[in-house]
Amino acid sequence: MSGKIFVAHDALSGLLDDLSKKFKVWIPQMMDQASGHIAFGVYAPGKKPELTRRSRLSPKKILFPSMDTLFKFTYVKDPKDPVRYTIDLKESFDNGPTLVFGARPCDTRGFQTFDQVFLKGQYKDVYYERRRQNTLFATLVCQDSDTACFCSSVGSGPADMTGSDMAVIPIEGGYVIEGLTDAGRKLVETSGSAPSPEQAAAAEQMKRNTAALKIGEDDLTGYADDLTRRFTDMDFWREQVSPCITCGVCTWVCPTCYCFSITDEASGMSGERMRSWDSCMFYLYTLEARGHNPRPTKMERYRNRVGHKFSYFPKKYDGMVSCCGCGRCIRTCPVSIDIRKVVKELKETADDRA
Amino acid sequence: MTELNPYRPEMATVIEIVEETHNIRTLRVLLNDPEKMKAFSFQPGQVGQLSVFGYGESTFVINSPPTRRDYLQFSIMQAGEVAGRLHQLNVGDQIGVRAPLGNYFPYENMKGRDILFVGGGIAMAPLRTLLLFMLDNRKDYGDITLIYGARTPNDFCYTYEFDDWKKAGASLILTVDNEAPDWPHRVGVVPKVLAEEAPNPKNRIAVTCGPPIMIKFALAALKQLGYADEQIYTTLEKRMKCGIGICGRCNIGEKYVCIDGPVFSCAQLSAMLPEL
Amino acid sequence: MDDKTNALREHVKGIFSNLELVLGWEPGYDPLHTRPFYVRTESDIDRLTANCLSFQNLTRYLAKSMNAVDPAADGRKIGVCVKGCDSRSLVALIQEKFVSRDRVYVIGLPCRGTLDARRIRALVPDPARIRSVNAEGDELVVETDRGISRFALDRAIARKCLQCRYPNPVIHDVLIGDPVTPRLKIDAENPSVAAVEALSLEDRLLFWENQLDRCIRCFACRNACPLCVCQNHCIMETRMPKWITQYRNMNEKFMFHMIHALHLAGRCTECGECERVCPVGIPVALIKEKINAIIYEMLDYESGIDPEAVPPLLTFSPKETGI
C-alpha cells in the first residue's frame, strides 16, 4: 500500500462517518451563518467540514479545553465524630481516541509550543499528555492565505506538516489523504482506496506548489535580543500599544497561547479544581495578593506577549519562536494591532521610524 | 500515572497554629500518609502550594528547616482568597500540600562564610528556614547576624524563638519603623539600620527578604557597603498558579520564578530583564 | 462615512498647536482595516484617515486610557474624532464626569455608516487577499486577488448603521462635512429588536442559547465599551467578591451578558462596539438595544443626547412616573 487514499468530494461525509465510529472527530464547521463564524466542532453525521475558509478560533481547545477539571474533591464527614472529616480526591481524565480533520498547518503546528512546555519540562502535564497521545491530526495543505497570514515568517509554510499524522491534499474532484506517521498511515490504509497515478501526481504537484509559496514577507525569527534591547524603551511600547484595549482576544484565538489559571469551584461539600484559559493581557493576571503588580499597564503586558513568543521562548527552547503565523490575533484584534509590525520594528532604531 | 500528577496535592492535617501577629499566623502540618511524611525531602528556601479545597491554592515557603522534621511549617499573611481561608482553619482541618517546589538557598556555597540576614515583616519566613538550618549546622558557618525589622513591635513573627536563636549563636538586631513606647531596640527602617550597622562585606554573604520597597533600598545599602552582586541573595515573589513552570504568569523574561526561583543572587537578578 | 480624510487633515493642521494630541484613525494592516491612532506630533497628521472604515469609537480611550477630566497644565485640549454614535458616548461620559467638556476638542464627522468587515468577508466569494475597498455612491467595490465584487453598500455596513438615528454628532466643536439624513426617526421601533421579539418565547430562548453558546468569555465586548468603566474591578474576573465562577457554561455566560447589559441600562448609546469586536460574532448589542427601548418607553429617556441631563438610573425622584 502507498499510505495514500483518494476521497472524492461526495465521499468525504462517508469517510468522516466511518472515522467518527472510532474517533471523536473534530472538524472546522460553520457555527453561525449570519456572522460567518467558523470554529472546530465535533463531527456528527450531516455536519459539513468547512475546508475552504479559515476558522476564526484555533483548534487548541481540543487538547487544551478552555475549562478543564483537574480533579474533583469531596469533604467526607466522619460519622462517629462530625467535626472530623477527610477529603476525597478524584482526578478526571478525558482522553478517548480523537482525530482533528481539516486543521491548517499553522493550527497543528501550534501544539509544538504546547509540547515543549507541557511535556518536555521539569514537570509533565499529565492531562495534556494523555490527550496528545490519543489525538491524530489530518492537516489540510493550505491553499488560501489572506492578508493576515504569515506562517512562512516564523519558519513554517502552507504545506508544513510538522506535528501532523496525515496530510489532506486538495486536488481536482476531492482530496488525497497521505499518511505521514505510522498511526496516520495505518488509519489511511484502512479508510479507502489508493489514488490513481494521475491523482497521486496531482497531489504531489499541489504539495510542491504550496510548499514553494512564501506567506509573509519578513523573517520574524531571530528577534530574541532585539526585544531585550528594546525592553525599557517605553516610548516604543507606548506607540505600538496605544490603541490596545487589553481585551485579550489575541490570546484566546491564538493556537500557541497556553497560559492558564487554576481555581476551585465548590458548592456545599464538594467541588472541583479546574484550570481555565487566562490572558497575560489582563491586569489581574499578575496582580499579587498584596497589591503589587509587575505588569501594571498594557505596555508591560503587551511587551510580555510579544517577548514571550519572539524572545523568551526562543531563548528557552533552542531558537523556537512560539508563534505559528496563523494571523488570528491580527484578524480578530478590534483595533488592528499587527504583531508582525511590532516584531519587525523591534530591530529598527528611533531614526528609522521617524 | 496518578502518582506522577504534579497538580495533585498530598493531604495534610493542621496540627498546630501559632498566631504570630494580627495578620500573620503559622500553620504546622503533617502529611496524612506517615510514609510520605517520613520520606519528604526538601531544601531550605523551597516552597509549597497549600490548598484549601473550595478556595484554591497559594504559594508559601516551607519555613521549618529540613533539619527539623516533626512537622512542616508555613507562615501566612492574610491577603487574598486562599490566605484568608487559611486564617480561618482550626487544628485538625485538612489542607492539600504540593511541595517541595522551586529552588533553594545555595547553603553549600555559604559554608565557612559569615552570614548576614536582612528581613522585613512576613519575609522573615524564608529567612527563618535558612537561619535555623544554619544554626542546626552551626559549625559550618561563621558569624550569623540578623537584622529584622517590622512596622511596630507587634508585627514581629517568631518572637517566642528569639532567645533560642541567640542561644544557638545568632546576633539579633531588631528595629521598628517608628518610635514606640517601651521599645528597647532600634528605630528606623531596615535599610537605614543596615547602613548604620555596616557589617563588613569581607567573607560575608547577605541574604535579604522583604517587601519590594525594602528590598530595593536594602540592596542599595548593601552595595554601598561594598557587597558584590555575587554575595547577595534574595527571594522573589510573583503571583503563581501551577508552581511547576507551565501556567506562564510568574515569568521575568525567560526565567520562571516558580522553577528557576524563588532564590536568586543579585548577580542573577541583574542579568534578568527589569520587570519585578 | 464618506471619505473625509483630506478635510480632517487640513482642519487638524490648523488647530494642532492648541492640542495635546488628537485621537483619530489610521490605515490598518490591509485595506479592510483601520486602527485608532494617537496624533502626537505635527508629522503624524498625514497618517490620519476618516472614511467608511473608521469603525472604532475613540471616546473609549478618554475614559479608560487617559485622564480626560483634569485640565492639562498648559491648558491644551485632547482632540477627539467622533461619528454620530461616538458623540453620544462622549455625552454620556461627560454626564458621568469621566470626561470634562472643557478638556476635549470634539471633531464631529457626520456618518452614513461604517463597514462591517465580517459581512464583507462573507460577501466576497473567496475572502482571500483584499486589495481595495471603495464606496462609490450606494455601491461598494471590493477588489481581491481573485477579482472585483460590487454590491449594495447597505449589505456591507454594520447592523447598527442600518438602524442609525443619530448619524450627526450631537456634540462637537467643529463639524467636518455636511449633516446627513438619519435612517430612522427617533421614536421609530428598533427593527433588530422587533425581529427577535417576533419569535415565540421558546424560539427566543433558543436564539439566545445558540448565540451565547459561542461566547468564549474573552471580555472584548466589555473592554471595547466606552461606558464599561469598572476596569480591573469587573466582577467577571475578581474572586473577591466572587459572583461568577470560571465555568464556561450557559449560566455564567448568560449572567455575564446580563450584568453587562444591566450596568448599561439607560447609559448605552448603541455605538455597537461590543458587537463589532466580538470574535465569535454574537449580536451582543441587541440586548442593550432592547433595554434602551424599555428605558425610552418607561422613562422617556435617550442616553447620550444632553450633557446636562442625568441618566434616569443614576438618580432617583419620588415623583417618577411610569415605573
CA-CA distance, C99 to A297, in Å (whole number)? 21
Please enumerate residues of B whose Cβ is less than 8 A from a Cβ of C. Answer: 56, 80-81, 84
What average pLDDT does range A76-89 have in this prediction?
91
A24-32/A260-267 β-pairing: unpaired
Closest CA to A140 of A115, A113, A111, A164: A164
Nearest residue, CB atoms, A334 vs list C220, C239, C247: C220
* pLDDT given for residue C323 in this prediction: 58
Domain limits of chain C? Answer: 5-116+157-314, 117-156
How many domains does one find in chain B? 2
Query: Helix H segments across chain C?
Result: 5-15, 59-64, 84-95, 117-123, 159-162, 191-197, 201-213, 220-224, 250-263, 273-277, 285-299
Cβ within 8 Å, pair A248-C220:
yes
How close is the nearest chain A Cα to the Cα of C208, in Å?
Answer: 12
pLDDT score at B2: 43
Judged by a CB distance cut-off of 8 A, whether residue A289 touches chain C is no
Domain membership of residue B248 (yes or no) is no
Give A228 or B276, the one with higher predicted confidence.
A228
B197 and B221, same domain (yes or no): yes
Average pLDDT over residues C298-314: 90
C residues 208-247 closer than 8 Å to B (CB): 239-240, 242
How far does B274 lie from chain A, in Å, by closest CA?
A: 8
Q: Which of A277-281, C127-131, C291-295, C310-314 has the lowest mean pLDDT?
A: C127-131
pLDDT-derived band at C299, boundaries 50, 70, 90: confident
**Could you read off the pLDDT of A158-185 as tens digits, one per residue?**
999 999 999 999 999 999 999 999 999 9
Among A152-161, B171-180, B181-190, C115-124, which stretch is predicted with the lowest mean pLDDT? C115-124
Total domains, chain A: 1
Are residues A263 and C232 in contact, defined by beta-carbon separation less than 8 angstroms? Answer: no
Calpha distance B241→B247 (Å, rounded): 7
In a domain, B79, yes or no: yes
Instruction: Compute the mean pLDDT over every residue in chain B, rounded to the nearest whole number.
Output: 93
B96 & B118 share domain = no
Whether residues B74 and B9 share a domain: the answer is: yes
Predicted confidence (pLDDT) at residue A207 exceeds the cutoff of 60: yes
Range of the domain at B171: 114-235
B185 burial (CB, 10 Å; 0-12 / 13-18 / 19+) is: middle
| Partner residue facing B53 (CB), from A126, A264, A307 | A264
B114-120 and B144-150: which strand pairing?
parallel
Grid cell listed for A114: 504546547
Domain region containing A318:
4-353
Asked if A97 has any chain C CB less than 8 Å from its own CB, the reply is no
Residues of chain B contacting A223 with CB distance shorter than 8 Å: none
Same domain, B46 and B88: yes
Of A147, A243, A282, the CB nearest to C129: A147
Smallest Cβ–Cβ distance between B275 and the set A75, A83, A294 belongs to A294
Neighbours of chain B (3+ CB pairs under 8 A): A, C
CB C145 within 8 A of CB C128: yes
**Which residues from chain B sit within 8 angstroms of residue A271, using beta carbons?**
53-54
Greater model confidence, C316 or A57: A57
Q: What is the pLDDT of residue A352?
A: 57
Q: With an 8 Å Cβ cutoff, are C277 and A334 in contact? A: yes
| Residues C237-276: tens digit of each pLDDT | 877 778 888 888 899 999 999 999 999 999 999 999 999 9
Maximum CA pair distance of chain A? 78
State which residue of chain C sits closest to B79, comparing Cα positions: C240
Residue B58 pairs in a beta bridge with B50
Q: Is the pLDDT of residue A350 over 70?
A: no
Residue B272 domain-assigned (yes or no)? no
Whole-number percent of chain B with pLDDT over 90: 89
At which of B70, B101, B132 does a domain end? B101
pLDDT at B1: 39
Residue B83 located in a structural domain:
yes
Q: Which amino acid is at C77?
A: K
Same domain, yes or no, for B119 and B205?
A: yes
* Cα–Cα distance measured from residue C83 to residue B262, given in angstroms and rounded to the nearest whole number: 52
Query: Which chains have at least 3 CB atom pairs separated by less than 8 Å from chain C?
Result: A, B
- Say whether both B54 and B144 belong to one domain: no
Residue B218 shares a structural domain with residue B148 = yes
Could you give the angle at which helices A234-241 and A339-347 cross, rounded to 10 degrees? 160
DSSP bridge partners of B57: B51
Grid cell listed for B146: 540578623
Residues B83 and B182 placed together within one structural domain of the fold: no
**What is the percent of chain C where pLDDT is above 70?**
98
| Residue contact C218–A34, C-beta within 8 A | no
Q: Please tell me which chains touch A, using 3 or more CB pairs under 8 Å as the contact test.
A: B, C
CATH number of the domain within which B133 lies: 3.40.50.80
Residues near A27 by beta carbon (within 8 Å), at least 6 away in sequence:
A16, A40, A41, A43, A47, A49, A50, A101, A102
Q: Please give the residue that has the higher pLDDT: either C318 or A177.
A: A177
